[in-house]
Amino acid sequence: MIENVDLTGIITVIGLIMLLGLILAFALLVWVFIRIRKINLPPGTEFFDALRMTPLSVVILLDLLDLSLDFFSAPFSWIILGRLGLEPLRTVTVVESLIPGTSMLPTMTAAWFIARLWKNAHLPDIPSVTR
C-alpha cells in the first residue's frame, strides 16, 4: 500500500529531465547545422539507406527532442530532417514521436545501429493489389 507519494517531487524530476534534454538538443542542433549543413541523398533513397548515410549526431538529436518534447517534437523533427535533406526519415520519425510511451526509448538511435549492423536492410516490397 502506497501511503504518501511525493507527486510534486516526481513531476519536478521529470521536468528537469525534459529541460536538460531540451538544452542538450538545442546545443546539438546548433552543432549539427554548423557541421553537417545538408546531406545529398540520391533520389528514391529508402529509409535504411538514408539512415546509413545519416550521422549519429542527427539521430541522437531526434531522440533528445523526442525525450524532451514528447509528441510536440514531430513538427521540429520534420523541419530539421527537411533542412538536412533527410526526407526519407521524416515519416518514421514523426510516427515514432506520435506513439505514446516511446519518448523514453532512443528508437532512432537503435534503428541507426541496426541499419549499420544489418547492411542489406531494406523494407520489403509490398505488391499492390489490383481488382
State how far the Cα of 61 lies from the Cα of 108, in Å rounded to an integer.
9
What pLDDT does residue 127 have?
53
What pLDDT does residue 4 have?
77
58 HSE (CA, 13 A, CB side): 28
What pLDDT does residue 39 have?
86
What pLDDT does residue 12 have?
94
What pLDDT does residue 88 have?
93
What pLDDT does residue 125 have?
54
What pLDDT does residue 100 have?
80
What pLDDT does residue 131 have?
47
What pLDDT does residue 24 have?
93
Distances in whole angstroms, Cα of residue 102 to Cα of each of 2, 74, 106, 107: 27, 13, 8, 8
Distances in whole angstroms, Cα of residue 111 to Cα of each of 35, 60, 89, 118: 22, 11, 11, 10
Q: Which helix (H) or strand (E) holds 62?
A: helix 56-69
Q: What is the mean pLDDT of each run of 10 residues along the chain (131 residues)?
A: 79 91 93 87 89 93 91 91 93 86 88 85 51 47
Tell me the domain boundaries of the chain. 7-117
